[in-house]
Amino acid sequence: LYRKAVQQMTQTLIRKLTTLSQYEEALAKINSSVTDRLTVLKTKPQSIQRDILTICSDPFTLAQQLTHIEL
């Protein structure tokens, strides 16, 4: 009885650790992807990067446009 219970707990633990490991691997991939994108963004010339206010200086219009995008 105890041996079977320990075996079941061990199997459950192994499954959970495997899932956790896969989750951590996915997070690492996402983190490296974000880091790569940030590096690319930082190396772009300033003329390519735009401030949100240069595109839309009116906060009300900006809020409307963002609402349309969300819908």
Name the one residue in this structure whose structure tokens are 């809020």.
63
pLDDT (average), residues 51-68: 82
pLDDT (average), residues 49-70: 80
The domain segmentation of the chain, as residue ranges, is 2-70
33-41 — which CB contacts under 8 Å span 24+ positions? Answer: none
Q: Which residue has the higher pLDDT, 43 or 65?
A: 65
pLDDT of residue 28: 93
Q: How far is CA 71 from the centre of its chain?
A: 22
pTM: 0.49
Return d(Cα 20, Cα 25) in angstroms, integer. 9
pLDDT of residue 47: 61
pLDDT of residue 12: 97
Structure confidence by residue, pLDDT tens digits, 11-42: 999 999 999 999 999 999 999 888 888 887 77
